[in-house]
């Protein structure tokens, strides 16, 4: 019998979901997907197949064509409470003329009333992303990889339960990539949050994730570490 203690609520449930922009031609169909607290799931597949669209659908920015999506216990189109969902888009959406700190504080603002708490969270996230020396610099003066780290810090400062990250490791050198990945993994495992990351580099995706979903020709092939399915489908 399941008791209250061993009942783990998934952070994401997708049932018979079809996504896309045209109801007569769906991009991806997902029969069933559940993501649990502490899990890291990578999504891979060719350019233009619908990876970003899948994340945008989970984020509530694009309506699904059909099916049911439950995000952090809330069924779409209802939204989860502010701050619970963290989204790092492929096009970062940073305020280019404003400083690193200002941008990160915008993230910390989600659901946090105390100014002191927002500042504290921002300082911590900027530090974790190795950007302390750049905190007063305007975004437009940063490199592509530094800007991605600001977007990651902005999301970490939110302390979200579910992070949707679209190619957030792009443009990073190996050393920076390792430290960013380590910081985000620590956060996810330590906070019992979950991470869904779009990653075009399959070997990197396998290395970082507990599950890899490969979108191929509109189908999702699950690939779970340590199972046969993993070896068969990728």
Footprint on this chain of ligand ATP (rule: CB under 6 A): 21, 27, 47-53, 90, 200
> Among 189, 180, 176, which Cα is nearest to 155's?
180
Note whether 191 and 83 are within 8 A (CB): no
Which of Mg ion, ligand ATP, none sits in contact with 50, Cβ below 5 to 8 A by type? ligand ATP
Which of Mg ion, ligand ATP, none sits in contact with 179, Cβ below 5 to 8 A by type? none
Which part of the chain contacts Mg ion (CB under 5 A), choosing from 29-37, 79-87, 89-97, 147-155?
Answer: 89-97
Q: Would you say 63 or 186 has its CB closer to ligand ATP?
A: 63
Q: Would you say 90 or 221 has its CB closer to Mg ion?
A: 90
Report if residue 52 touches Mg ion, rule: CB under 5 A.
Answer: yes
Which residues are registered as beta bridge partners of 35? Answer: 12
Q: Which single residue brings its beta carbon nearest to Mg ion? A: 52
Which residues are registered as beta bridge partners of 40? Answer: 195
Q: Would you say 27 or 214 has its CB closer to ligand ATP?
A: 27
Residue list 90-109, contact with Mg ion (CB under 5 A):
90
What are 17's two structure tokens?
């979901």
Instruction: Produce one character per residue of 81-101: b if its CB has 16 or more CB atoms within 10 Å, e if not.
Output: eebbbbbbbbebebeeeebbb
**Binding footprint of Mg ion, residue count (CB under 5 A):** 2
The alpha carbons of the chain give a radius of gyration, in whole angstroms, of 18
Which part of the chain contacts Mg ion (CB under 5 A), choosing from 82-90, 138-146, 188-196, 221-229?
Answer: 82-90
d(CA 234, CA 228): 11
């Amino acid at each position: 019998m399941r008791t209250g203690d061993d009942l783990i609520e998934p952070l994401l449930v997708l049932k018979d979901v079809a996504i896309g922009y045209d109801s007569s031609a769906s991009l991806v169909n997902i029969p069933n997907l559940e993501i649990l607290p502490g899990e890291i799931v990578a999504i891979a597949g060719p350019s233009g197949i619908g990876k970003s669209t899948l994340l945008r659908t989970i984020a509530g920015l694009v309506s699904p064509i059909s099916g049911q999506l439950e995000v952090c216990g809330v069924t779409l189109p209802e939204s989860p409470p502010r701050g619970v969902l963290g989204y790092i888009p492929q096009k970062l959406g940073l305020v280019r003329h404003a400083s690193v700190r200002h941008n990160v504080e915008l993230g910390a603002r989600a659901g946090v009333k105390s100014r002191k708490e927002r500042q504290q969270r921002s300082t911590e996230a900027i530090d974790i992303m190795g950007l302390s020396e750049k905190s007063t610099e305007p975004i437009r003066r940063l490199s592509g990889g530094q800007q991605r780290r600001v977007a990651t810090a902005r999301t970490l400062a939110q302390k979200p339960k579910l992070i949707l990250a679209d190619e957030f490791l792009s443009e990073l050198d190996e050393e920076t990539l390792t430290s960013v990945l380590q910081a985000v993994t620590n956060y996810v495992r330590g906070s019992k949050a979950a991470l869904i990351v779009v990653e075009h580099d399959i070997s990197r995706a396998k290395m970082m994730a507990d599950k890899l979903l490969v979108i191929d020709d509109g189908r999702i092939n699950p690939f779970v570490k340590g199972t046969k399915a993993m070896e068969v489908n990728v």
